[in-house]
């Protein structure tokens, strides 16, 4: 081969690599490509062609690595140069406040703290030498991880070559965007429980060409740079300069730092004093569902790197960072038996009775298993040892099986017949249902729901009385409550004249509950307070209008309502077409309940009844208020009134509600020309719509 040709190939490979690195970065990191896909593919194919002709000229960080390489046998174990320790955890903003105080005291100086999102993905450490990615290592046990370099190279936002020839270890989190997860998982034979598991599973594929097909992404959040950066903020800046993808959902909290410069440079970050941190946490938690990725908490870090060094580590955790976890911790326990519950809609829920276990400060002995598909996915059997978690305030759920039972119990199956009434169960969608309207458990569930404090709120008629009415056969369905002669309870223990008169008064009073309360109290699937509100706003001001739409099967009319999806619309149509539902409504109408809105409804207090006066607006709040404490209460009105809220003032903010002592947000709002609204003006605006704030 002529030497000139070989040299030409070498320089063309170098040139193409350089170009393609740039194009990949523009496309995947910066989101603004400068060449067409066609041109990109042409250059890419040319490079691949040259590389296959001259394999010895192929660079280890070649852009063609993005599509994966030959199968790797194993993922060899590699020692981390700096151990990757887990973080200490907190579950409330009080704990965070305590930690900040403790840390500040320990350091003996005023500190600033950076708050980042804790992305629920796969932690990775990227080792660069002379600016080239040489190793990507999983967290492992914190000291030794697995080398999965070939697979990580397929992730477009992981730089293979840095613009500076430096040695650095960068920590990041690899994740799969939620929407892509749904899309990919749907096609999988054995679906994954969450995006994290799918991401972790793909990173362990032997063929990196298979990994390349999974649209994984990465955020970088720590870098151990040789020259001493002064602060974590500077580290984040440096990472950005080195073309890593860094999240811009960052909060900086300090009682001493002058953040004016930073605020100008990072309009998307949030800034505040320590007392504003709890609200930031609350807001971040409320915004998590809208993110393209899953987060399971926030991380609060000391900004001053020198102080980090001084604070050092406990045996298990760095002292300079703490994780705020949204979810309560998990516990491990054993399933004693599995039973099914029949809900008020006839839906069957399998429930595991477990050995009592302490989780997040309460004792758990019943754990939901959701449905048959969930049981099969986790392969749950009686006698299995499982981890149980409490997500927020909802019912605890089994997360995974830790150890199978030793007696060989098979994966559990929902019985064929309803345990309450013996009817054959039917499968609709993901769930089993008992379709017998008179099923005792359903009647019981409907009744308890209906009288509950968040629904009709029938005074003096509690669960015990309801139970007695059912057991004695006095009440078989909701309308019976209003038809039953309560005098007949005379002689039952605890039912004197006064008690009976009180129950009757409670029922009488409940008859004036407005339509927007009556409708969700019926316990019809999908028709809760929010959907009710949407329906009423869209003109469905009476039950007759809803039933008419259902009878004519006009689900497209419902789908047209913003906030109502196809599934909800289909359920509404189905439910309001069912004869027994219509009959129940007809009878409740006869006994005198409100099934249409009246003029008086408009002036009712409470967020449920707010007209859409904030629609199309994006609000932010700062400072403190007389009537709204915490100030997030004010934002509840905005949300209930169809507006959006965010924790930070940005280009999309339309209004800033400013109380006394508003700081940086107020300044920024003024700079951006955002409309600034005082507490008085805000209250006035609500009042104009008939909403009184006490
Ligand atoms: Zn039944």
Hey, what are 545's tokens?
């209008």
Q: Where in the chain is the domain with CATH 2.40.50.140?
A: 330-433
Q: Which two tokens stand for residue 498?
A: 């006064």
Buried b vs exposed e over 635-650: b needs ≥16 C-beta within 10 Å? bebbbbbbbbbbbbbb
Long-range contacts for 672-679 (Cβ within 8 Å, ≥24 apart)?
A: 674/620, 674/649, 679/625, 679/626, 679/627, 679/628, 679/634
State the distance from the centre of ligand 1 to the C-alpha of 339, rounded, in angstroms.
Answer: 14
Element (H, E) at 119: strand 112-119
Give the residue carrying structure tokens 């708050």: 115
pTM summary value: 0.49
565 or 353, greater pLDDT: 353
Task: Give distance in angstroms: CA of 8 to centre of ligand 1.
Answer: 79
Distance 443 CA to ligand 1 centre (A): 10
Say which residue the tokens 């523009």 belong to.
26
Options 3.40.50.12280, 3.40.50.300, 2.120.10.80, 2.40.50.140; CATH of 330-433: 2.40.50.140
CATH number of 608-688: 3.40.50.10190
Residue 3 pLDDT more than 60? Answer: yes
For residue 571, the number of C-alpha atoms closer than 13 Å in the C-beta half-sphere is 15
CATH of 88-325, one of 3.40.50.300, 3.40.50.150, 3.30.470.30, 3.30.465.10: 3.30.470.30
Burial of 57 from C-beta contacts in 10 A (0-12 / 13-18 / 19+): middle
Label residues 155-173 b or e (16+ Cβ within 10 Å = b). Answer: bbbbbbbbeeebebbbbbb
576 alpha carbon, distance to own chain's centre: 31
Q: How far is the CA of 586 from the centre of ligand 1 (A)?
A: 23
pLDDT value of position 605: 39
Torsion of CA 83, 84, 85, 86, to 10 degrees: -170
Looking at 1.10.150.20, 3.40.1190.20, 3.30.1220.10, 3.40.50.300, the CATH number of the domain 440-510 comes to 1.10.150.20
425 CA distance to ligand 1 middle (Å):
8
Catalytic residue among 53, 58, 105, 118: 118
Provide, rounded to the nearest whole percent, the portion of the chain with pLDDT above 70.
Answer: 93
Banded model confidence at residue 601, pLDDT cuts 50, 70, 90: low
Q: What residue ranges in 573-632 does DSSP mark as E strands? A: 618-622
- Residue 391: its pLDDT value, please? 57
**Residue 301, strand partner residues:** 114, 321
Whole-number Å distance between alpha carbons of 203 and 70: 15
What count of other Cβ atoms lies within 10 Å of the Cβ of residue 235? 23
Segment 381-435, tens digit of pLDDT? 999 999 888 754 456 888 888 898 989 899 999 999 999 999 999 998 778 999 8
Residue 617's pLDDT band, with cuts at 50, 70 and 90, is confident
**pLDDT of residue 66 exceeding 80:** no
- Model confidence at 546, in pLDDT bands (50, 70, 90)? very high
> Of the candidates 45, 57, 201, which has an alpha carbon nearest to the alpha carbon of residue 122?
201
Output the pLDDT for position 395: 67
Per-residue pLDDT at 4 exceeds 70: yes
User: Can you give the pLDDT at residue 599?
Assistant: 60
Question: CATH assignment of 515-604?
Answer: 1.10.150.20
Percentage of the chain beyond pLDDT 90 is: 39
Q: How far apart are CA 326 and CA 294, in angstroms?
A: 11
118 belongs to the catalytic site = yes
* β pairing state of 431-433 and 426-428: antiparallel
33-37, 505-509, 634-638: least confident range: 33-37
639-648: pLDDT as tens digits: 777 788 787 8
DSSP-derived letter for residue 456 is T
- Sorting pLDDT into bands at 50, 70 and 90, what band is 70? low
Comparing CA positions, the residue from 174, 198, 173, 209 lying closest to residue 72 is: 209
Measured CA distances, 127 to 75, 84, 135 (Å):
16, 13, 5
- CA of 299 from ligand 1 middle (Å) equals 47
Residue 261 Cα to chain centre, angstroms: 33
* Owner of token pair 């499968």: 427
Q: CATH 1.10.150.20 occupies which residues in the chain? A: 440-510, 515-604
- Average pLDDT estimate for 286-296: 86
Question: 267 falls in which pLDDT band (50, 70, 90)?
Answer: confident
Q: Which residue has the tokens 């991401």?
A: 199
At residue 485, the 3 state secondary structure works out as coil
Distance CA 575, CA 572 (A): 5
The pairing of beta strand 348-359 with beta strand 644-645: unpaired
At 543, list the tokens. Answer: 């039950």
Residue bearing the bigger pLDDT, 327 or 593? 593
Q: What is the largest CA-CA distance in the chain?
A: 112
- In the chain, CATH 3.30.470.30 covers 88-325
- Among the residues of 288-384, which ranges form H helices? 305-311, 372-378
Q: Please provide the CATH number assigned to the domain covering 3-67.
A: 1.10.287.610
Q: Give me ligand 1 centre to Cα 421, in Å.
A: 4
Tokens representing 322?
């703490």
Query: Of 623, 592, 573, 602, whose CA–CA distance to 690 is shortest?
Result: 602
- The phi and psi torsions of 238 (rounded to 5 degrees) equal -65, -45
Q: Does the pLDDT value for residue 255 go beyond 70?
A: yes
How many CA atoms does the CB half-sphere of 492 hold within 13 Å? 14
Average pLDDT, the chain: 86
Note whether 541 and 533 are within 8 A (CB): no
Residues in CB range of 402: below 8 A, 6 or more apart: 332, 384, 385, 386, 387
Task: List, in order, residues 6 or more apart from 281 with CB less than 8 Å away.
Answer: 93, 96, 115, 298, 324
């Amino acid at each position: 081969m002529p030497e000139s040709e070989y040299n030409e190939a070498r320089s063309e490979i170098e040139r193409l690599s350089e170009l393609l690195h740039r194009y990949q970065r523009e496309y995947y990191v910066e989101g603004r490509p400068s060449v067409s896909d066609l041109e990109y593919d042409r250059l890419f194919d040319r490079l691949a062609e040259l590389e296959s002709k001259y394999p010895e000229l192929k660079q280890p960080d070649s852009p063609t690595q993005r599509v994966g390489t030959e199968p790797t046998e194993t993922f060899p174990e590699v020692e981390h140069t700096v151990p990757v320790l887990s973080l200490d955890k907190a579950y409330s903003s009080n704990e965070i406040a305590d930690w900040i105080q403790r840390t500040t005291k320990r350091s003996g100086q005023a500190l600033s703290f950076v708050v980042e999102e804790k992305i629920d993905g796969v932690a990775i450490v990227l080792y660069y030498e002379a600016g080239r990615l040489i190793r990507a290592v999983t967290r492992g046990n914190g000291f030794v991880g697995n080398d999965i370099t070939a697979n990580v190279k397929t992730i477009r936002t992981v730089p293979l070559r840095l613009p500076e020839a430096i040695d650095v270890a960068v920590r990041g989190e690899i994740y799969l965007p939620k929407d892509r997860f749904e899309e990919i998982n749907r096609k999988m034979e054995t679906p994954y429980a969450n995006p994290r598991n799918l991401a972790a599973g793909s990173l362990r594929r032997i063929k990196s060409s298979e990994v390349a097909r999974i649209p994984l992404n990465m955020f970088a959040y720590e870098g151990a740079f040789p020259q001493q950066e002064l602060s974590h903020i500077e580290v984040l800046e440096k990472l950005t300069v080195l073309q890593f993808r860094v999240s811009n959902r960052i909060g900086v909290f300090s009682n001493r730092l002058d953040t004016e410069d930073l605020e100008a440079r990072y309009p998307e970050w949030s800034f505040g004093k320590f007392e504003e941190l709890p609200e930031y946490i609350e807001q971040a938690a409320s915004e998590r569902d809208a993110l393209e990725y899953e987060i399971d908490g926030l991380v609060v870090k000391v900004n001053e790197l020198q102080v980090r060094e001084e604070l050092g580590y406990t045996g298990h955790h760095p002292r300079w960072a703490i994780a705020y976890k949204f979810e309560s911790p998990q516990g491990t326990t054993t399933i004693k038996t599995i039973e099914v519950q029949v809900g008020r809609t006839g839906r069957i829920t399998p429930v595991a009775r477990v050995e009592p276990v302490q989780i997040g400060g309460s004792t758990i002995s019943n754990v939901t298993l959701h449905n048959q598909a969930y049981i099969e996915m986790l392969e749950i059997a009686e006698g299995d040892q499982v981890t149980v978690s409490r997500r927020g305030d909802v019912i605890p759920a089994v997360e995974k099986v830790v150890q199978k039972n030793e007696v060989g119990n098979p994966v559990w199956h929902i019985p064929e017949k309803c345990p309450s009434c013996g009817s054959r169960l039917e499968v609709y969608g993901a769930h089993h249902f008992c379709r017998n309207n008179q099923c005792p458990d359903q009647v019981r569930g409907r009744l308890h729901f209906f009288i509950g404090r968040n629904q009709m709120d029938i005074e003096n008629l509690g669960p015990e009385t309801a139970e007695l009415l059912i057991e004695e056969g006095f009440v078989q369905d909701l309308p019976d409550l209003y038809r039953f002669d309560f005098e007949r309870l005379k002689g039952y223990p605890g039912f004197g004249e006064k008690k009976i008169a009180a129950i009757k008064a409670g029922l009488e009073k409940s008859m004036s509950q407005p339509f927007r309360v009556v409708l969700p109290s019926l316990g019809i699937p999908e028709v809760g307070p929010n959907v009710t509100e949407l329906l009423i706003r869209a003109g469905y001001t009476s039950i007759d209008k809803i039933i008419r739409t259902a009878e004519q099967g006009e689900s497209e009319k419902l789908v047209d309502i913003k906030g109502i999806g196809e599934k909800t619309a289909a359920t509404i149509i189905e439910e309001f077409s069912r004869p027994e539902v219509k009959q129940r409504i007809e009878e409740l109408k006869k006994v005198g309940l409100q099934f249409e809105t009246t003029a008086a409804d408009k002036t009712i207090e409470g967020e449920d009844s707010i007209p859409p006066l904030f629609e199309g607006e994006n609000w932010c709040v700062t400072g403190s208020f007389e009537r709204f404490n915490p100030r997030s209460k004010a934002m509840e009105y905005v949300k209930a009134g169809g507006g959006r809220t965010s924790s930070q003032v940005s280009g999309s903010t339309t209004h800033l509600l400013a109380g006394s002592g508003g700081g940086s947000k107020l300044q920024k709002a003024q700079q951006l020309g955002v409309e600034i609204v005082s507490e008085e003006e805000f209250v006035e605006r609500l009042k104009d719509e008939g909403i009184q704030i006490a």
